[in-house]
């Protein structure tokens, strides 16, 4: 652990840690800057029936405000969101604001940051996001069941001056495991799910539909925000011949937009894309998931038609909004590893198999358990994850962003931060981070069955000295 030590000697050489912290300075703000605007709304979680999937039948789901995906909340950076939440489910629940740096008490983790909201109960979430970007919210109680049943929604925090895209579109990617009655298969955390990469469904949807279509016009510039809300499935979308650039990953902007060449979108990940359609564009582009090359999946279609075409002179030319401050951290791998985490499985526990972090399975949000790691805000940390299993583990940290430094010891130069990184079977990844927000934060696998079966722990961030 490295504290920020500001030397007094004018010509003192900086330590490597000080250089890493200098590179990080200004990456994202320490504090929220509330502008006084407050958006108040009610969110109710309740069972309902909806004509989802191909629209031919009624699917019994659990939904926020009667919709799946739940309502897309859109605010501006500096605005405050006040959500009066009511639980009308037959189970306790909470709302976790995935990727949003919130005060610890608003993080929606049962027992750790708040009591679970019992059936009939209420809770008020009030947050002023510190970062603009694409975020999402979902329960943190029995998530493998509650998220699978349809409880998730998107939170968009717009820039103070949003770029003038012709359209700003959200695609929530999910899959559903349906039984013969075309209803949600009612057994959760099955041995099969637990032994593999969680629950992978037999129907894939974008925004709850199997036939989502994005209509564009020649000359358009569209911002497309992808969110993976699946329990376990990884998507690797292929946009064919379209001109696509990555603007942001997990909410935060890149240094500059980079060409899209495929991305493993694991549960929890978000991706903001800038799609440019030439003035002569036309036709239909299927968007296909190629995570498993031998078993590809149709996700949605993008259709360009000439109706309302603009004249070539008016082609949209503005700089992509990506302007993130992302440290290069080339010296980060020379730093000692702060903490190593071994990811593995063993027999036992209430599900018959337990997923472990350093040989411990997290039992029911046990708030009495000491944190796996205590860090001081404003210090550089290098965390190393070694996956001793052959399964996938998208590791997610609450309350902080990190940079991927290496995979299997080979430096990786991703020009962006993340809050979730996919660790493949038998792989070791190194992350660098500087926590800024004090509190007790969860760290867990975002394959929700793995998390339910123990692959969770807590990290403590102490206030800066």
Contact 88, 120 (CB under 8 A): yes
445 binds Cu ion per the rule CB under 5 A = yes
Q: Select the span of 45-53, 112-120, 225-233, 390-398 touching Cu ion (CB under 5 A).
A: 390-398
225 binds ligand C2O per the rule CB under 6 A = no
Among 396, 403, 440, 450, binds ligand C2O (CB under 6 A): 396
Q: Select the span of 114-122, 286-294, 367-375, 440-448 touching ligand C2O (CB under 6 A).
A: 440-448
Q: Among residues 87, 97, 80, 99, which one has the least CA distance to residue 41?
A: 80
Name residues whose C-beta falls within 8 Å of residue 123's C-beta, 6 or more positions apart in sequence. Answer: 85, 94, 95, 114, 117
- Whole-angstrom Cα distance, residue 2 to residue 62? 45
- Whole-angstrom Cα distance, residue 194 to residue 106? 30
- Tell me the closest approach of the beta carbon of residue 444 to ligand C2O, in angstroms: 6
Q: Which does 440 bind (CB under 5 to 8 A by kind): ligand C2O, Cu ion, none?
A: none
Contact 107, 444 (CB under 8 A): no
Query: What tokens does 243 get?
Result: 């001109």
- Tell me the closest approach of the beta carbon of residue 33 to ligand C2O, in angstroms: 25
- Tell me the closest approach of the beta carbon of residue 450 to Cu ion, in angstroms: 3
Contact 363, 357 (CB under 8 A): no
398 binds ligand C2O per the rule CB under 6 A = yes
DSSP, collapsed to helix, strand or coil, labels residue 444 as: strand
442 binds ligand C2O per the rule CB under 6 A = yes
- Tell me the closest approach of the beta carbon of residue 384 to Cu ion, in angstroms: 17
- Tell me the closest approach of the beta carbon of residue 416 to ligand C2O, in angstroms: 18
Among 59, 447, 456, 459, binds Cu ion (CB under 5 A): 447
351 binds ligand C2O per the rule CB under 6 A = no
302 binds ligand C2O per the rule CB under 6 A = no
Dihedral pair phi/psi, residue 58, rounded to 5°? -105, 130
Q: Which does 442 bind (CB under 5 to 8 A by kind): Cu ion, ligand C2O, none?
A: ligand C2O
Q: Which does 345 bind (CB under 5 to 8 A by kind): ligand C2O, Cu ion, none?
A: none
Nearer of residues 221 and 446 to ligand C2O, judged by Cβ: 446
Name residues whose C-beta falls within 8 Å of residue 385's C-beta, 6 or more positions apart in sequence. Answer: 340, 341, 343, 393, 395, 423, 428, 429, 431
Q: Select the span of 39-47, 82-90, 169-177, 449-457 touching Cu ion (CB under 5 A).
A: 449-457
Count of CB atoms within 10 A of residue 280's CB? 11
440 binds ligand C2O per the rule CB under 6 A = no
Task: Enumerate the β-bridge partners of residue 125.
Answer: 83
Name residues whose C-beta falls within 8 Å of residue 228's C-beta, 6 or more positions apart in sequence. Answer: 173, 174, 234, 235, 265, 266, 267, 268, 269, 270
393 binds Cu ion per the rule CB under 5 A = yes
Q: Which does 396 bind (CB under 5 to 8 A by kind): ligand C2O, Cu ion, none?
A: ligand C2O
Query: What tokens does 121 get?
Result: 């109960």
Among 63, 69, 96, 300, binds ligand C2O (CB under 6 A): 96
Q: Cα–chain-centroid distance for residue 253?
A: 14
Q: Which does 223 bind (CB under 5 to 8 A by kind): Cu ion, ligand C2O, none?
A: none
Among 351, 403, 444, 450, binds ligand C2O (CB under 6 A): 444
- With vertex at residue 399, the alpha carbon angle to CA 392 and CA 208, rounded to the nearest 5 degrees, is 55
DSSP, collapsed to helix, strand or coil, labels residue 232 as: coil
Q: Select the span of 11-19, 204-212, 349-357, 442-450 touching ligand C2O (CB under 6 A).
A: 442-450
Query: What tokens does 246 get?
Result: 């990555």
Query: In the complex, which residues of this chain contact ligand C2O (CB under 6 A)?
Result: 96, 98, 138, 140, 268, 396, 398, 442, 444, 446
Tell me which residues touch Cu ion (CB under 5 A). 393, 445, 447, 450
């Amino acid at each position: 652990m490295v504290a920020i030590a500001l030397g007094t000697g004018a010509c003192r050489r900086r330590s490597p840690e000080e250089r890493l912290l200098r590179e990080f300075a200004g990456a994202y703000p320490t504090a929220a800057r509330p502008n006084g605007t407050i958006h108040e709304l009610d969110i109710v979680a309740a069972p309902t029936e909806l004509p989802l999937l191909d629209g031919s039948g009624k699917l019994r789901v659990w939904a926020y405000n009667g919709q799946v995906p739940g309502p897309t909340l859109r605010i501006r950076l500096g605005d405050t969101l006040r959500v009066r939440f009511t639980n009308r489910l037959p189970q306790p629940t909470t709302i976790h604001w995935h990727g949003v740096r919130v005060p610890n008490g608003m993080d929606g983790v049962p027992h750790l940051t708040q009591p679970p909201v019992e059936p009939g109960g209420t809770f008020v979430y009030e947050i002023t996001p510190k970062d603009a970007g694409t975020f999402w919210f979902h329960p943190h109680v029995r998530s493998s069941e509650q998220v699978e049943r349809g409880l998730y929604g998107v939170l968009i925090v717009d820039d103070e001056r949003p770029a003038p895209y012709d359209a700003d579109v959200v695609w929530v990617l999910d899959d559903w495991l349906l039984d013969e009655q075309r209803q949600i298969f009612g057994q959760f955390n099955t041995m099969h799910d637990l032994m593999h990469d969680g629950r992978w469904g037999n129907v894939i949807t974008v925004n709850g539909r199997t036939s989502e279509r994005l209509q564009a016009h020649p000359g358009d510039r569209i911002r497309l925000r992808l969110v993976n809300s699946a329990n376990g499935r990884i998507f690797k979308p292929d946009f064919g011949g379209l001109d696509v650039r990555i603007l942001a990953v997990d909410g935060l902007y890149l240094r500059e937009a980079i060409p899209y060449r495929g991305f493993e979108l694991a549960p929890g990940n978000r991706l903001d894309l800038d799609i440019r359609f030439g003035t002569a564009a036309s036709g239909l582009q299927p968007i296909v998931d190629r995570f498993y090359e031998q078993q590809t999946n149709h996700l949605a279609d993008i259709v360009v038609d000439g109706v309302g075409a603009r004249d070539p002179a008016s082609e949209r030319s503005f700089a992509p909004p990506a302007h993130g401050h992302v440290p290069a951290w080339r010296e980060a791998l020379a730093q000692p590893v702060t903490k190593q985490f071994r990811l593995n499985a063993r027999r036992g526990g209430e599900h018959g198999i337990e997923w472990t972090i350093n040989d411990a399975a997290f039992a029911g949000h046990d708030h009495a358990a000491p944190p796996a790691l205590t860090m001081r805000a404003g210090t550089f940390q290098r965390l190393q994850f070694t996956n001793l299993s052959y399964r996938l583990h998208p590791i997610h940290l609450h309350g902080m962003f990190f940079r991927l430094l290496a995979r299997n010891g080979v430096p990786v130069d991703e020009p962006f931060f993340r809050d979730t990184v996919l660790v493949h079977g038998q792989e070791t990844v190194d992350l660098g981070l500087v926590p800024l927000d004090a509190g007790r934060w969860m760290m867990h696998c975002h394959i929700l069955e793995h998390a339910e079966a123990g692959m969770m722990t807590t990290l403590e961030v102490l206030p800066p000295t």
